[in-house]
């Protein structure tokens, strides 16, 4: 006897009916989850800072309506893609500090029209910056690669996301990275 499992959970029913095994719908669902998470984070960070939407907009050189749209999980626009670029750049810079150095700092400056990420470390430095910018080139230790990092894309990803990127490194002294991303106000 082949009994089908009866589903009574509404979310499971909707998932089975509309998503099931469709890879495009699964990808769309995941994108919506990310959008909702970004919107929630922006709202919570703004509230934690004690700012209203207008104050945040003035701080970063945009308008209140842009902040309002960013805090709406359904928003699909230029500002969300700009925030993704900032998040990717910050993540990659932070991972390089954590993986390759004994310490450093990541500072984000928000100014009208521009977000600047500055990563400084006191690590071993990069012997060949040009080679380090080559996609896939990695000096990551085996333990780093076993964790799923060290694919040699970090600096490339930052360069791809930034409107300007400057990288200075001295072997034995450390590395200084600056990435600038324009704030798009519409």
Which spans in the chain are helix H? 10-18, 23-48, 53-60, 64-70, 78-100, 129-132, 142-146, 154-161
For residue 134, is pLDDT > 70?
A: yes
Whether residue 97 is found in the same domain as residue 174: yes
Q: Across the chain, what does the average pLDDT equal?
A: 86
Question: Above 90 in pLDDT, residue 176?
Answer: yes
> What is the CATH classification number for the domain harbouring 43?
1.10.260
Which pLDDT belongs to residue 9? 80
Residues 103 and 70 in one domain: no
77 pLDDT tier (thresholds 50, 70, 90): low
Whether residue 107 sits in one domain with residue 44 = no
Which residue, 18, 52, 76, sits at the end of a domain?
Answer: 76
pLDDT tens digit string along 50-63? 999 999 888 877 78
What backbone phi and psi angles, to 5 degrees, belong to 77?
-150, -175
Q: What percent of the chain has pLDDT over 70?
A: 92
Tally of domains within the chain: 2
Residue 4 lies in a domain: no
Residues 101 and 68 in one domain: no
pLDDT, greater one: 5 or 148: 148
Q: What pLDDT does residue 177 have?
A: 97
Find the domain containing 131 and state its range. 91-182
Residue 22 is predicted with a pLDDT of 87
Residue 2 falls within a domain, yes or no?
A: no
Name the burial class of residue 151, with classes exposed (0-12), middle (13-18) and buried (19+) by CB atoms within 10 angstroms of its CB: middle
Q: Are residues 167 and 117 in the same domain?
A: yes
Residues 13-26 pLDDT 10s = 888 888 888 888 88
One domain, residues 97 and 170:
yes
| Domain CATH code at residue 174 | 3.30.565.10
Same domain, 160 and 105: yes
Same domain, 142 and 165: yes
Confidence (pLDDT) at 186? 37
Cβ neighbour number for residue 21 with a 10 Å cutoff: 7
Please check whether residue 147 is in contact with residue 156, taking contact to mean a CB–CB distance below 8 angstroms: no
Structural domain contains residue 81: no
Q: How far apart are CA 117 and CA 127, in angstroms?
A: 22
Looking at the fold, whether 96 and 72 belong to one and the same domain comes out as no
Local structure of residue 136 (DSSP, 8 states): T
Give residue-wise pLDDT tens across range 120-131: 999 999 999 999
Same domain, yes or no: 61 and 105: no
pLDDT of 80 reads 72
Same domain flag for 125 and 95: yes
- Residue 3 pLDDT > 90, yes or no? no
pLDDT of 78 reads 59
């Amino acid at each position: 006897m082949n009994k089908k499992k009866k589903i009574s959970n509404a979310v499971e029913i909707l998932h089975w009916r509309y998503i099931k095994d469709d890879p495009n719908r699964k990808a769309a669902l995941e994108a919506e989850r990310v959008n909702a998470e970004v919107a929630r984070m922006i709202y919570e960070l703004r509230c934690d800072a004690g700012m209203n939407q207008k104050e945040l907009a003035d701080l970063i050189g945009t308008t209140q309506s842009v902040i309002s749209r960013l805090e709406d999980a359904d928003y699909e626009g230029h500002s969300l893609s700009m925030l993704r670029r900032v998040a990717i750049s910050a993540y990659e810079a932070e991972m390089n500090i954590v993986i390759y150095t004994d310490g450093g700092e990541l500072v984000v400056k928000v100014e009208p029209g521009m977000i600047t990420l500055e990563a400084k470390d006191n690590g071993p430095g990069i012997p060949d910056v040009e080679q380090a910018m080559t996609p896939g080139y990695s000096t990551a230790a085996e333990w780093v690669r076993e964790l799923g990092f060290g694919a040699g894309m970090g600096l490339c990803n930052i360069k791809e996301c930034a409107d300007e990127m400057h990288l200075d490194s001295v072997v034995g002294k450390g590395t200084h990275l600056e990435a600038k991303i324009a704030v798009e106000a519409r």
